[in-house]
């Protein structure tokens, strides 16, 4: 069923968008999740509903819509229709969100992401890269991440690790964190981390592709300079959180709100939001820009928008809209603000990924 009179504000199922030649092996978990073939071992990431390029640019990472436009161009042409007036007033035509599917087939290198202050001072970027994860699959009971340091680290020691590639000492100074399906983890900018093999997750992050690699030996294509984004070693480690992370501090990073649905602790809200919606029958989502990731389907499911959902479309380019999209495990959906209220039907578990809420007017 489809009677779309304004495709610019219609929800759309997103095709896979996996950049080639990434520097670590992965992607098999994404293939299982989407039910597709895994043909390239260096496609570990799927940029979902992305208006963000990889650090090297050239358009790599941008989502291309069915009409051939990049999502970034479509949003710039109609920011109110895609993002809504409150978001545009607060943030302009930037969604302020990047969602990825990520799947590791080897341990991901130890690295950290700069915060906004470091990115502005040294990398010519206006945002940093705080991120968070929702684990949707693992290859077994021994899945893990490395997160933060188990003792204070001096700048001299951090510089030694990088220049000498003393990986055993580096990894030995980090906290292993067990991961299982359904776990969540908030990773503030500056905190060193790596992900063990056999983990598939949904990743929300600030809309940039900034990673400073403390470990790069054995990963193709890296030199010391490229691993550090062209920075010298001393400058690169100044953005690293070298403090001790106690077990109780790590535990907070893995906490939601206690309501069983809202992922990540309150500190994540100024960067992004994510919640799980369990559908048995029907559930309604309010108008708002969002990326939906369908995790589990028992039987059939669908997304209804506009007249099909019993709601009027909303937005700067609003027009009568009636749309029904069929949903299955691994489906990813872009929902523009202008689609208005949408309804999920069937038996579904859906992760709803959203930008930060605009600040309230005082």
What tokens does 151 get? 């003792």
pLDDT confidence band for 1 (50 / 70 / 90):
very low
Q: What is the pLDDT of residue 321?
A: 61
Evaluate if residue 4 carries a pLDDT over 80: no
pLDDT of residue 11: 97
pLDDT at 258: 59
- Structure confidence at residue 316 (pLDDT): 40
Confidence of residue 257 (pLDDT cuts 50, 70, 90): low
pLDDT confidence band for 2 (50 / 70 / 90): very low
Residue 307 has pLDDT above 70, yes or no: no
* Structure confidence at residue 202 (pLDDT): 97
Q: Would you state the pLDDT for residue 299?
A: 77
**What is the pLDDT at residue 359?**
84
Residue range 316-362, pLDDT digits in tens = 444 456 799 999 999 999 999 999 999 999 999 999 999 999 887 65
Chain-centre distance of CA 247, in angstroms?
25
pLDDT of the residue at 5: 37
Q: Give the pLDDT of residue 6.
A: 46
H/E/C letters for each residue in the chain? CEEECCHHHCCEECCCCCCCCCCCCECHHHHHHHCCCCCCCECCEEEECCCCCCCCCCCCCCCECCCCCEHHHHHHHCHHHHHCHHHHHHHCCCCCCEEEEEEECCCCCCEECCCHHHHHHHCCCCCCCCEEEEEEEECCCCCEEEEEECCCCCHHHHHHHHHHCCHHHHHHCEEEEECCCCCEEEECCCCCEEECCCEEEEEEECCCCCCEECCCCCCCCCCHHHHCCCCCHHHHHHCCCCCECCHHHHHHHCCCCCCCCEECCHHHCCCCEEEEEEEEEEEEECCCCEEEEEEEEEEEEEEEEEHHHCCCCCCCCCCCEEEEEEECCCCEEEECHHHCCEEEEEEEEEEEEECCCCCCCC
Q: What pairs with residue 184 in β-bridges?
A: 134
Query: pLDDT confidence of 297, banded at 50, 70, 90?
Result: confident
| pLDDT tens figures, 173-214 | 999 999 999 999 999 999 999 999 999 999 999 999 999 999
Q: Tell me the pLDDT band of 311, cut-offs 50, 70 and 90.
A: very low
- What is the per-residue pLDDT across 108-155, written as a single tens digit (0 to 9) for each? 999 999 999 999 999 999 999 999 999 999 999 999 999 999 999 999
Kindly report, residue by residue over 90-99, the tens digit of the pLDDT: 999 999 999 9
* Tens-place pLDDT, residues 38-90: 999 999 999 999 999 998 889 999 999 999 999 999 999 999 999 999 999 99
The whole-number pLDDT of residue 309 equals 62
pLDDT digits (tens, 9 = 90+) for 263-277: 899 999 999 999 999
Confidence of residue 300 (pLDDT cuts 50, 70, 90): confident
In sequence order, what are the residues at sequence separation of 6 or more whose Cβ sits closer than 8 angstroms to the Cβ of residue 133?
A: 102, 145, 183, 184, 185, 187, 201, 202, 203, 204
257 vs 102, more confident: 102
- Per the prediction, the chain carries an average pLDDT of 92
Q: What is the pTM of this model?
A: 0.93
Pairwise CA distance, residues 46 & 235, whole Å? 31
Beta bridge partners of 273: 354
pLDDT band at residue 169, thresholds of 50, 70 and 90?
very high
């Amino acid at each position: 069923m489809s009677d779309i009179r304004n495709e610019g504000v219609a929800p759309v199922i997103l095709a896979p968008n996996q950049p080639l030649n990434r520097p670590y092996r992965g992607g098999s978990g994404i293939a299982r999740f989407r039910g597709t073939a895994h043909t390239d071992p260096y496609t570990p990431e799927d940029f979902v509903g992305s208006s963000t390029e990889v650090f090297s640019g050239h358009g790599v990472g941008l989502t291309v819509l069915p009409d051939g436009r990049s999502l970034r161009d479509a949003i710039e042409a109609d920011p109110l229709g895609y993002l809504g007036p409150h978001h545009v007033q607060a943030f302009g035509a930037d969604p302020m969100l990047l969602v990825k599917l990520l799947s590791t087939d080897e341990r991901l290198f130890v690295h950290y992401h700069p915060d906004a202050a470091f990115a502005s001072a040294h990398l010519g970027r206006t945002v940093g890269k705080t991120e968070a994860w929702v684990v949707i699959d693992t290859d077994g009971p021994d899945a893990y991440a490395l997160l933060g340091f188990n003792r204070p680290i001096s700048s001299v020691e951090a510089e030694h690790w990088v220049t000498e590639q003393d990986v055993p000492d580096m990894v030995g100074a980090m906290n292993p964190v067990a991961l299982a399906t359904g776990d969540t983890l908030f990773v503030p900018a500056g905190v060193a981390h790596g992900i063990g093999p056999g983990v598939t997750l949904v990743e929300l992050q600030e809309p940039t592709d900034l990673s400073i690699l403390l470990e790069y030996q054995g990963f193709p294509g890296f030199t010391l300079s490229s691993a550090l984004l062209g920075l010298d070693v001393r400058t690169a480690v100044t953005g690293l959180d070298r403090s001790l992370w106690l077990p109780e501090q790590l535990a907070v990073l893995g906490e939601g709100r206690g309501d069983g649905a809202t992922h990540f602790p309150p500190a994540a809200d100024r960067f992004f939001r994510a919640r799980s919606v369990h559908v048995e029958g029907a559930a309604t989502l309010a108008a708002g820009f969002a990326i939906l990731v369908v995790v589990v389907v028992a039987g059939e499911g669908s997304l209804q928008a506009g007249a099909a959902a019993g709601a009027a479309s909303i937005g700067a380019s609003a027009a009568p809209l009636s749309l029904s999209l069929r949903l299955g495990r691994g489906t990813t959906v872009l929902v523009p603000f202008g689609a208005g209220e949408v309804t999920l039907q069937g038996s579904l578990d859906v992760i709803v990924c959203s930008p930060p809420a605009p600040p309230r007017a005082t």
